[in-house]
Amino acid sequence: MGSNNPKINDFGITFSTINGSGSATANNTIQKAIFRMGIPVSARNIFPSNIQGMPTWYSLRVSKDGYLGRLEKDDILVAMNPESVIRDIGNLNPGGVLLINKNIAITDIRKDIIVHSMPVDELLKSSDVSSNLNIYLANMVYVGVLSYLIGIELEKIESALDQHFNGKKKAIEPNLHVVKKSFEWTEANIRENSPYSLSPMHATIGKIMIDGNSAGALGALYGGLQFSAWYPITPATSLAEALNDFIPHLRVDPETGKTTCAVVQAEDELAAIGMVIGAGWAGLRSMTSTSGPGLCLMSEFLGLAYFTEVPIVVWDIQRVGPSTGMPTHTSQGDLSFSYFISHGDKDFVILLPGNMNECFDFGWQALDIAEKLQTPVIILSDLELGMNIWMADPLQYPDKEIDRGKVLWEDDLEKFAKKKQKEWSRYLDVDGDGIPYRTIPGNLNSKAPFFTRGTSHDPCAGYSESPEDWEENLIRIKKKFETAKLISPQPEMIDSGNELAIISYGSTDMPVKEAIVLLGNESIKTDYMRIRSLPFSCEVEKFVETHQRIIIIENNRDGQMKQLLCVNFPEHAAKFISLAHSNGLSLCAHWIVEKVLSEIVPEVK
């Protein structure tokens, strides 16, 4: 077949391998090499909840226009796993290319695709590399074959390997050797031109590549995090591990050689958040990271932190629930749970990062917001953002000084009494914003200590079951969330006065931005708002007021953001149209476009 007009810098590749076979090195090398050719590239790891042996996929999208959303179908398939090969081939677009390990025997192959067989074993044998590495190096064969076929520059492969192995020649050389051997074999044996190819661009100059969990951990460390406790859970584990990796580099006091941030692996999520609350109460910037099941366990403690007014940050890297669900698959299903978490009346600040830079920024901003308001802040990321490596702008140094909020040390207590004309007590609202002043353990002024309790208390922190004390206290606490609306990240908006609008949040921003362009091509003009925090700010309210029909697009079954909008803006409820979907994968722009055109546009018109 072959084409004289190859599709350049705009296609998708899926690598189908076996979990635990070491394909991550090969896959990440390809992603990095393409990135270093200046071409926008995104990649998703679709992996099973398993250590070794089950099928795993790595889907890479090359997009000259910079679209990062998932593609539904593949243009190129690298098939290394006999177990999934039939299904994988079925997912190729007509005219697509199949690179298949020669070992995999299949019959009745589709006639509308191009098939190249890769002699993996022979190439490894002739490469003369240590046989105990074969299982890992087998993946380097497809790196070489693919590099020749679509035009990945070998020097970029080499530099990516060099970075991956931290310059260790012993590791780089055998890998590179297999890549070169396979490249040469392809050159000699595959005559057809590939219908898909790469051409260097300049679109990634100055960009970085990072995963959301690392970006979040770094944000926290630049935000002055001092204590974190956590319990292992997919897909949040790598956030805490990134803290441990970066602390020795970023958070050692040069004067003492001691670290200024402690990380404890707790016995469970109950203990993790308990420790974090203890630390936050005692004046440490403190945070935990978890996923849905862990957040469920934390719900009682979150109510305590809300009511005792302890600043903490909780990262939820969402996966598919309820129950154990699909631990290695992405979702935006924890939104309404986070919003309403814990019993009784309460409010929570929720931040919704939509990209790597926001994972970093919200990472430090959340600590400021929590301490300023003396309340828990929940950051809802997801597996899509957290565990995949994305192209991003360089991380920006915080543009604000660290804000520790209303904390009184020994001398401050005396100054407070003079300035405010009254003695300090813990839950007294002297500024009218509902945010009281706090002292923290270690303060040796004899007026500083107070008894923190989860039971009802008066403004002086004394036990009280008086109806007035209870109600006044909770009404005061609610006031803090008016400030929350002002200091939390405001929505990102494209408002051109269209009647039809789209709302989304978090990782769903990626396919939505692409879908908006595609809809525009179909003459469907829409405005757009990406919500970046809860409670809803005035900006959100204004956007809702000024649009006639609003489609809320999200990755969960019930349309949870739509539900929250209805609860908060009941007078506008009739405007809202939910476009929600959850199957463990991130949304695709084409699915959004198809749904809007087939179901929503006819209804709106």
Partner 1 sequence: MADQLRKENTNTIGLKRNDYTGRPTTLCKGCGHTSIANMVVSACFEMNLPPEKIVKFSGIGCSSKSAAYFLERSFGFNGLHGRMPSVAEGALFADKSLVGIGISGDGDTANIGLSQFKHLVRRNVPMVYVVENNGVYGLTKGQFSATAEKGLTLKRQGENPYLPVDIALEAIAANASFVARSFAGDPKQVKELLKAAISHRGTSILDIISPCVTFNNQDYSVHSYSWVKGHDAPLHELEFVAPRDEITLDDFERGSIKEVTMHDGSVIAFKKLAREYDPTNRTEAIKMLEEAIRKNWLITGLIYVDPDSPNIYDMYPIGEKPLNRMPSEKIRPDRKSLELLNQSLM
What's the one-letter identity of residue 43?
Answer: A
Tokens of 178: 């297999």
125: alpha, beta or left, given left = phi > 0 and alpha = psi -120 to 50? alpha
Provide, rounded to whole angstroms, the least separation between the CB of residue 273 and partner 1: 8
Measured from the CB atom, the residue of 216 and 280 that comes closer to partner 1 is 280
Q: What is the DSSP pairing of strand 196-197 with strand 376-382?
A: unpaired
Provide, rounded to whole angstroms, the least separation between the CB of residue 354 and partner 1: 19
Provide, rounded to whole angstroms, the least separation between the CB of residue 48 and partner 1: 28
Provide, rounded to whole angstroms, the least separation between the CB of residue 250 and partner 1: 4
- Contact between residue 506 and residue 380 where contact means Cβ atoms under 8 Å apart: yes
Q: How far is CA 541 from the centre of its chain?
A: 26
Provide, rounded to whole angstroms, the least separation between the CB of residue 596 and partner 1: 36
- Report residue 337: phi and psi, to 5°: -60, -45
- Contact between residue 106 and residue 123 where contact means Cβ atoms under 8 Å apart: no
Provide, rounded to whole angstroms, the least separation between the CB of residue 170 and partner 1: 21
Among 258, 263, 357, 346, smallest CA distance to 302 is for 346
Measured from the CB atom, the residue of 281 and 536 that comes closer to partner 1 is 281
Measured from the CB atom, the residue of 147 and 357 that comes closer to partner 1 is 357
Provide, rounded to whole angstroms, the least separation between the CB of residue 308 and partner 1: 8
Measured from the CB atom, the residue of 395 and 596 that comes closer to partner 1 is 395
Alpha helices (H) in 120-236, listed in sequence order = 120-127, 134-150, 154-164, 169-189, 212-222
- Contact between residue 305 and residue 291 where contact means Cβ atoms under 8 Å apart: no
**C-alpha distance from residue 71 to each of 575, 588, 594 (Å):** 30, 6, 14
Measured from the CB atom, the residue of 9 and 443 that comes closer to partner 1 is 443
Query: What is the four-CA torsion angle of 465, 469, 473, 475, rounded to 10 degrees?
Result: 110
594: alpha, beta or left, given left = phi > 0 and alpha = psi -120 to 50? alpha
Tokens of 77: 């398939």
What's the one-letter identity of residue 325?
Answer: G
Q: What is the DSSP pairing of strand 227-230 with strand 262-265?
A: parallel
Measured from the CB atom, the residue of 187 and 393 that comes closer to partner 1 is 393
Provide, rounded to whole angstroms, the least separation between the CB of residue 426 and partner 1: 11
Measured from the CB atom, the residue of 280 and 559 that comes closer to partner 1 is 280
Measured from the CB atom, the residue of 477 and 534 that comes closer to partner 1 is 477
Provide, rounded to whole angstroms, the least separation between the CB of residue 342 and partner 1: 11
Q: Hey, how many other C-beta atoms are within 10 angstroms of the C-beta on 303?
A: 19
Provide, rounded to whole angstroms, the least separation between the CB of residue 436 and partner 1: 16
Q: What is the DSSP pairing of strand 549-554 with strand 500-505?
A: parallel
Provide, rounded to whole angstroms, the least separation between the CB of residue 364 and partner 1: 8
How far is Cα 528 from Cα 515, in angstroms, rounded to an integer?
11
How far is Cα 440 from Cα 312, in angstroms, rounded to an integer?
14
Measured from the CB atom, the residue of 57 and 281 that comes closer to partner 1 is 281
Provide, rounded to whole angstroms, the least separation between the CB of residue 416 and partner 1: 17
Provide, rounded to whole angstroms, the least separation between the CB of residue 165 and partner 1: 14
- Contact between residue 518 and residue 589 where contact means Cβ atoms under 8 Å apart: yes
How far is Cα 584 from Cα 587, in angstroms, rounded to an integer?
9
Measured from the CB atom, the residue of 452 and 498 that comes closer to partner 1 is 452
Residues written for the chain:
605
Measured from the CB atom, the residue of 95 and 459 that comes closer to partner 1 is 459
Over the Cα atoms of the chain, what is R_g?
Answer: 27
- Contact between residue 575 and residue 597 where contact means Cβ atoms under 8 Å apart: no
Tokens of 376: 């828990």
Residue 283: partners with Cβ closer than 8 Å, 6 or more residues away: 407, 440, 441, 442
- Report residue 172: phi and psi, to 5°: -70, -45
Measured from the CB atom, the residue of 262 and 493 that comes closer to partner 1 is 262
Measured from the CB atom, the residue of 3 and 259 that comes closer to partner 1 is 259
